[in-house]
């Protein structure tokens, strides 16, 4: 209720001020408002400067980093569009062009439009730049273009100015001729199919949680610019540098995946599934952000999601820096760790029978650091597995074996 009342109160106040005119209304309010603003800023500034380590913030704010001006990438990328895009459009209006097909291609700051008519193909090439017609987002892009070359000219000429907007949410593309023979004409098209790829650095975060032992969330983030994976688990964070082959493997898999052309999707677990891992994969590349979620028990999730997640996960685990002092456990400690693991699992925690829990012999794998394998068996007092709270279960002794 308060947000609504506040809104109408502010609207009413603005109306009264504007109604009094510029001199008696707006200017008079500014004389008071500026004084109040300064009166607020001064004590806030003093308070901020008295905070611990405030001098570091002031130094960072006032000290320019001129070294970045020597980076060629900064100058080469200034004002450019880091995008590769292709779509096929079907004209909706105006009626004289309805049903016509246009292919639209963007590569950096260049664009090509290919259209077919009874007179053959018209190929129009343009220089383009981001337009102020809209805010560039992952669902809306808009550009201003100038025609630089035309093959088999029919409706365009060199020097024509054109603006166009792509709305991926509604699958619409709108082109407006600002000069030339078609000046003032607006063409609305339906995006039939499209492919989009950003050339900017990107980050892919994959996380995993759950499983039969209800693991806490663990995230691995591949940073294409830094060439490393950041592993986050709880409050700890580990940077894992990667070699060129691994970086290239992940990058090639990402580029071939075409995930940016897909909608963010949640693939839920199959009904009745339990003790599964839940995964999420998030892509952050320039203006584009996508997120996909799925589980071990999900049908329909694209295989590329599992492959990309597994590749990043494996690279992070295989390249993690080894600690200097690696502990070696005795059999009693190994068994106790395994016991805590089993007892905390959803299946055992629900109805596992403590007196039936047994462990088999321990096998030491030939790995570095050492890994241990042992088998655990126990019996639960009901059928099924996982947390079966609020579910109808059978009263039958059910054996379980874990390895």
Model confidence pLDDT, tens digit, residues 135-164: 777 778 889 999 999 998 888 889 999 998
Distances (CA, A) of 290 to 204, 232, 282: 10, 20, 6
278 closest CA partner among 267, 289, 287: 267
In 3D space, the residue among 153, 186, 22, 165 whose CA is nearest the CA of residue 106 turns out to be 165
In the predicted structure, residue 74 carries a pLDDT above the cut 70: no
Q: Is the pLDDT of residue 324 over 70?
A: no
Model pLDDT for residues 374-387, shown as the tens digit of each residue: 898 888 888 887 88
Q: What is the reported pLDDT for 68?
A: 58
Instruction: State the Cα–Cα distance between residues 143 and 133, nearest whole angstrom.
Output: 8
Query: Residues 207, 279: contact at Cβ < 8 Å?
Result: yes
User: What six digits make up the tokens of 350?
Assistant: 């629900």
Mean pLDDT of 382-393: 84
DSSP code of residue 356: G
Query: What single DSSP character describes residue 352?
Result: B
Q: What is the pLDDT of residue 77?
A: 47
Through-space distance between the first and last CA atoms of the chain, rounded to whole angstroms? 57
- pLDDT tens digits, residue range 214-224? 677 889 999 99
Q: Contact, 150 vs 123, CB < 8 A?
A: yes
CB atoms near residue 117 (< 10 Å): 13
Question: Which DSSP category does 328 fall into?
Answer: -
Residue 177, Cβ neighbours under 10 Å: how many? 19
Query: How many CB atoms neighbour CB 283 within 10 A?
Result: 22
- Predicted confidence (pLDDT) at residue 251 exceeds the cutoff of 50: yes
Task: Enumerate residues 6+ apart whose C-beta is below 8 A from 231.
Answer: 218, 219, 220, 237, 238, 239, 240, 316, 320
pTM: 0.54
User: How far is the C-alpha of 2 from the C-alpha of 275, rounded, in Å?
Assistant: 45
CA 394 distance to own-chain centroid: 43
Mean pLDDT across the chain, nearest whole number? 84
The 10s digit of each residue's pLDDT in 331-375 is 888 888 888 888 888 888 888 888 988 988 888 887 666 788 889
Higher pLDDT, residue 393 or 117:
393
Q: How many helices (H) and strands (E) does the chain have?
A: 9, 20
Residue 245's alpha-carbon distances to 19, 205, 227, 248, 312, in angstroms, are: 68, 20, 11, 5, 13
Strands (E), 271-384: 277-285, 288-295, 358-359, 363-364, 372-373, 376-380
Q: Residue 329 and residue 380: Cα distance in Å, rounded?
A: 29
Specify the pairing of strand 140-151 against strand 161-167. antiparallel
CA distance 139 to 265: 15
Tell me the percentage of the chain whose pLDDT exceeds 70: 92
204 CB contacts (<8 Å, ≥6 apart)? 221, 222, 250, 254, 281, 282, 283, 284, 308, 312
The two structure tokens encoding residue 366? 């030939």
pLDDT, residue 203, reads: 93
Six-digit token pair at 258?
């075409």
CA of residue 14 relative to chain centroid, distance = 40
Q: What does the alpha-carbon distance between residue 326 and residue 316 come to, in Å, rounded to a whole number?
A: 19
pLDDT one-digit tens code per residue, 284-298: 988 788 899 988 888
């Amino acid at each position: 209720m308060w947000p609504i009342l506040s809104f109408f109160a502010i609207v009413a106040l603005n109306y009264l001020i504007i109604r009094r005119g510029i001199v008696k209304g707006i200017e008079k309010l500014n004389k008071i408002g500026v004084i109040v603003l300064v009166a607020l800023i001064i004590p806030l500034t003093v308070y901020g400067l008295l905070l611990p380590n405030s001098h570091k913030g002031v130094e960072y704010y006032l000290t320019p980093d001129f070294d970045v001006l020597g980076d060629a990438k900064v100058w080469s990328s200034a004002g450019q569009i880091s995008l590769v895009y292709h779509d096929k459009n079907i004209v909706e209006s105006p009626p004289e062009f309805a049903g016509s097909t246009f292919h639209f291609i963007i590569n950096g700051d260049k664009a090509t439009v290919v259209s077919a008519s009874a007179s053959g193909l018209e190929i129009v090439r343009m220089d383009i730049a981001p337009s102020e017609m809209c805010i560039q987002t992952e669902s809306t892009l808009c550009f201003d273009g100038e025609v630089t070359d035309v093959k088999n000219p029919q409706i365009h000429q060199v020097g024509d100015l054109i603006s166009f907007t792509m709305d991926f949410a509604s699958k619409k593309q709108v082109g407006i001729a600002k000069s030339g023979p078609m000046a003032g004409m607006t063409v609305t098209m339906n995006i039939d199919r499209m492919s989009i790829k950003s050339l900017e650095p990107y980050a892919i975060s994959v996380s995993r949680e759950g499983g039969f032992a209800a693991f806490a969330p663990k995230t691995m983030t591949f940073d294409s610019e830094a060439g490393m994976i950041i592993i986050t688990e709880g409050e700890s964070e580990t940077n894992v540098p990667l070699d060129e082959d691994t970086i290239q493997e992940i990058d090639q898999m990402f580029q071939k995946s075409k995930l940016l052309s897909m909608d963010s999707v949640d693939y839920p677990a199959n009904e009745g599934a339990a003790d599964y891992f839940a995964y999420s994969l998030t892509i952050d590349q320039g203006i584009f952000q996508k997120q996909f979620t799925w589980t071990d028990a999900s049908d329909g999730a694209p295989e590329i999601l599992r492959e990309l997640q597994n590749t990043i996960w494996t690279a992070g685990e295989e390249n993690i820096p080894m600690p200097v002092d690696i502990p070696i456990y005795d059999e009693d400690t190994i068994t106790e760790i395994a016991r805590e693991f089993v007892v905390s699992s959803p299946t055992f925690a629900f109805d596992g029978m403590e007196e039936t829990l047994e462990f088999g012999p321990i096998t030491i794998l030939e790995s570095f650091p050492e890994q241990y394998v042992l088998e655990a068996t126990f019996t639960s007092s009901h059928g099924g597995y996982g947390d079966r709270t609020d579910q109808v279960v059978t009263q039958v002794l059910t054996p379980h074996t874990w390895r």
